[in-house]
Each structure stands twice: as structure tokens, then as C-alpha cells.
Structure 1
Amino acid sequence: MEGNGIISFGSGQPDLPPPKEIFRNLENPRLFKYGLIQGDKRLREALAEEYPGAEAKNFVITNGASEALDLVMRALAQEPGSHNILLCQPYYYSYPLIAEFAGLSSIYTQLKEGLIDLDDFQKKIGKVKAVLINSPSNPTGRVEAMETLKAIEALTKKLGVWVISDEVYKDLIYGRENYLIKGRHVITINSFSKTYAMCGLRVGYLYSPDREFIQKVVDMKVHTSMNTNSMGQAMALSAMRAPRSYVKKQVAIWERRRDLIYGGLIKLGFDLWKPEGAFYVFPKIKNVERALGELYYKYKVIVYDGAWFGAPGRIRLSYALDEKKIEEGLRRIKKFLKGKEKWLI
């Protein structure tokens, strides 16, 4: 929601421009026809080059990462064994519902300081068919330690537990290394929405070394959405051919914005984790429902309720807006907090 003087820290939609390369060569009539259910072969071949040992047949191009998650969970629900899935809490708000719609029951491992607590994780992993990992995380903005991700990779392989690795923010990390979980038991989810600012085109994908699993997903997609947007796939392929400097410049902008909003909220007295990736902050505050209403109706500021993400007593702010708007939003939040300092304790 924008306009009318509203400052929205709500939507996780990049406001930065996509690569200029995506607008070229769109006159081909083929782009307006049905395409392969599994996805454009050239796009899948380009993706395979980014995953060691992968081939085009290991990918399915989907209508955003959301469809990839939906297809994966429905396919996993058909696998023998437990119908439980382990989710990290706080979580992206769609995860529990997508799991429920697929016929899976969610079990939660509680994050500690926004990161996976391996002790709690190990207690619960034996009860589930699959676990969903999201690093960098929406809503926390935190990036899991490489040692943690390697431990999860080894433990799930040993126990025969599937890993769904949601990596839509993997390219948006500030000043530290990331580790991408690998193995035949790992299903990777990604999207062109965040890295390339192409949310509206709805182009995502899933990758698995397990060809039988890929075929199950394709068999479902035939009868649901059919092929993913042909023109969007062509634009996604062009985005991949853009200079790597495009992504580096974007990350530098996100990092500046992170520093601005994190520093501003700390000065106002908020308790929050410093994001290491993605573009969200997740501060604590009391009386959340009242805060949301007053911020919107009196100060024209939109923030999201942490309860939507499984974390009551917090609010999520996206910094997918330019620095002047962030600064103005912080000024309005400061006015809102006058006389409410105890809400931050």
C-alpha cells in the first residue's frame, strides 16, 4: 500500500530496478505460447551451471518460490513415513499454511537470538519427514552459521530426513559467508524476485538431484498451473546474463539501508538483531496491535505484526524503500514513541 503520504515498511518487494538486459528481445511470438511444463530448457541449463553436478533435468521452473514450496510439500506428503515437517519459529508466514494445505503437520523448533538452536533442533528432527531451512531469514534477517548448516546437512542425511532449503535471499548477504546445504535429500527453492527485483513476473524454481522426485513435481504441475510464464522465463534468463556487478551494486544499497534503519531503531531504544542478509528488521515492542493501528492511522506508517510470523511482541519492518523514506519513517516512529518508552522494555 503506497501513496497518500504513507511510509510502508510492510512489503518485502525490492524497489530497485531489475537488470536492463531483461527488456531486450521480447518480440519473439514463441513467448506468447505454451511452454514446457518443467520450464524453458535454456533457463534450466543456465541454472545447472550454478549448481555443481547438476543438469537441466534437475530443475522445475515455477510461478515464484511460493509455487515451488507448494509443489514440494505436496509431493513430500505422498512419500511414505511421518507427515510432520519441522519449521523454524519465527517463520515466513506462509510456511505453516502451505504445509497444512499439503496435508503436513508442522512441528516448531524455537530460534535462539534469531538462529537455529541445534540442541532443540536435534530433539525434534527425528519426529519429522522434512525440515524447512530459510537462510538468510524472512523475517529475522539473520544468516545461519556455516557450522550449523553443515551439521544439519549431515544429521538429516543420516536420519533420511528431507531438507527444503529456501534460498530466495542467498545473494543478499552483507559481509559474511553463507553455506548452501547439499545432498540427494536436499530440495533447493529459489526465485528471481529478490536478487533481480522481478517479483511481479513470478519466476522461481526448485532443484533436486533426485530425478524421481522432480518427475512427481512435474506430474502435479501438468494439472495445476501448467507451464510458468514464458515471457517471464525469457526475462529471467536475460537477468542471469547481466553483469555480476548488478547484484553487487544492489547488495551495497541494501547494506546502506540496513545500517540506516538498524542504527535508527537502536537510537530509538528498540531491541533487535542486526540483519546479516535479506532486507528485514524484527524489533521487540509491547502492545503490538495498538502500535500497528496508531502507527497507521495517526502517523501513516505501515509495519507488520510479528505474530503473523510466529513471534508475538515483535514487528517486522522491510527496508525495501529509499533512504529518504526510511529516514522519514524513523522520524514518525520517534513521534509515535513519545510517552511510550516503556513499550520497548
Structure 2
Amino acid sequence: MSTSSDAAKQLQDKLEITKLHILDARADLKSYHFESLDDSTSGEGALSDPAIVASDVAAQILFLRKLKFQYLEQNAKDKYVKTIVSDDAPLITAASNEQIRLRNEEKKRNLKEEKLKLLEKQQDVRTLAPLVEEDYQKARSLTSLGTSLSAKILDAKLALTRLRQAHPQPRLTIATATATLDEQVIQMQALDDELQSSEKQMEETKQKIKAEMREVERLRAVEKEGIAELEHVGKEGGDEDPRLGKLYDWLQAALTAQRSLLSLESSRAESENELRLTYKIVSPFSKMPKELVLTLLFVPNTRQLASASARLDGVELDLGDMIYAPVQANDILTLVWSVYACVKEREARSVDL
């Protein structure tokens, strides 16, 4: 009996010396540094594939199951050996086996429940993973948007600060700008109404001028006929013809009407060969009439027209080629009428502008 007990003690000593306890292996696994592994042999590129990762995990689970089985086997052997070699070995009865069976069944039931919970958790993870990924992408995009908006806000604040420095008080506000715009709209409407009334008055004035010019042409024809008749009567009857007085009165009336139509104020001979005619240019858009002075120069001791000049309110007018043809033709009426019409047209054009 002593020999068997010595053998059992020796076996127990050997088992303790060999360090077969799985707890020591677990502690070594936790304390092991995996950072020292070579990157070339770690298969980091391969682990990026989900299929490879799944197969690797399955292999590790199988290995851990085998390791767990070996641990349970060795633990059972250890307990069995200790029970055999021990002097006070516990008494194993059917009741103790039944208790162990019940505890094992309870542990199995708990394990099964935990496995079901784990499966539910895994299913929840598979269901929520796409949603979490979507929320993550949204959060990431919102974060980048917030960053860009923050940069834009800083740029806007900097630009606003520069504008405030460049444009000190008082600054134009929206209210003052709106009020100024309303005033300008009212002024534009008033100016538009004034322009329309001015255009209407100008059109009426043009019609009046055309009617007066037709009357002037008619009076010119009448004047020419009267002069011709006067010359004819003078040649036939002499200076004592009684019709001369009536013709003279008629001629004076015609000249007065012509002067009133052409606004002729005065005609004065400055010298033997210079005649100065003064006209009043009346514009419906001007309160004060303007004075037109037309100077006619003749060849001395003749009635041949040499040149002509005009001044409007003391300002010399550039007549250009307008007087060339009448001067060459010695047509005083055409010259006077052309200058007068030109000045009236310039006045009307300046009003339009």
C-alpha cells in the first residue's frame, strides 16, 4: 500500500512540475505582445477581406474548442488521480452524481440562453450595421460641411471687417437706400411727365412755326407783286399818281406784318455798305427771348452782297456753307430766312437734348 501511495505522490509531483494548468496559459496569452510580430507575416492585407477573416475566426474557434476539451480532459484526469491517491477520498454516491448532473444541466440551460442572446445580439448587429454606417457617413458629411461653413463664416467676417474699415460711418443702410430709391422713382416719374409735356408743346410749336412760315411765304409773294405793281405805276403815272399813297400804306402794313412774324425788332444801317438786322428769338421753353443780330455787308456803292455774319446773345455763330450760295446769288431774302430758320432749329434741338 505504501508503494502505491509513493507512486501516486511522485506522479502528482511530476504533474505540478510540468505546468499543465490552462490558467497559466491564459495569463501568458493576455501578457503576450503581438506588436512585435512582423507585418509581412501578419497577413494584414489578407485580413481586409471579410471571407478570409471569417475563415480565420472559424479556425480559431475550432482550435479553442479543442484546447478547451483538452483542458477539461486533463482537469478530469488530475481530479481522478488526486481522488485515487488521496487517503481521505470523498465518497461518491448516486446523490452526488445527481447533484452534479443537475448543476451541469443548469449550466447547459444558462449557456443555451446566453448563446440565444448572443445570436440575437449578432442579428441586431447585422441589422444595425448598415444603418450605423449610413449615419456615420451622414455625420461625416455634416462634419465636413460644418468645417467648410466655419471657414466661410470666418472669411465673411474678415471681408465684413475690411468693408467696415474701408467705409466708415455713416454707412448706407437698406432703409436709407430704399427711401432714396423711392425718391428717385418719384423724380423720374415727374421728369417723365415733364418730358412728355415738353414734347407735346414742342410739337405744337413746330406746327405753329410751319403755319407762320407758310404765311411768310404768302406775304413774300404779295410783297413782290406789290413792288412790281408800284414800279409799274411809277413808270406810267409819275410821282403824282394818287395810288402811290395807298400802295405805300399797304407796303408799310405788309412790312409790319412781316416784322411781327419774323420777330424783327430793328433794322439799322451802320455805314454805307453795312446793314444790321435785329431779331427776337422766342422759345416756349425759355422765359427770356434771345437776341439775334444779323449783319449784312455790301460791296461799296453797289447793292451786291459781299458777306454776312450772325451773333446770338453776343455769341458768334458759325454759319459755314449756309451763306455761300445766297451771297453768290445776291439773294438777301433767302439768306435771312436760312439763318433765321437755322437758329430756330438749333434752339429746338437744344430743348430736346
Shorter-chain TM-score tier: under 0.3
**Structure of greater relative contact order (alpha carbons < 8 Å, 6+ residues apart):** 1
TM-score, L = length of structure 2: 0.21
Larger Rg: 2
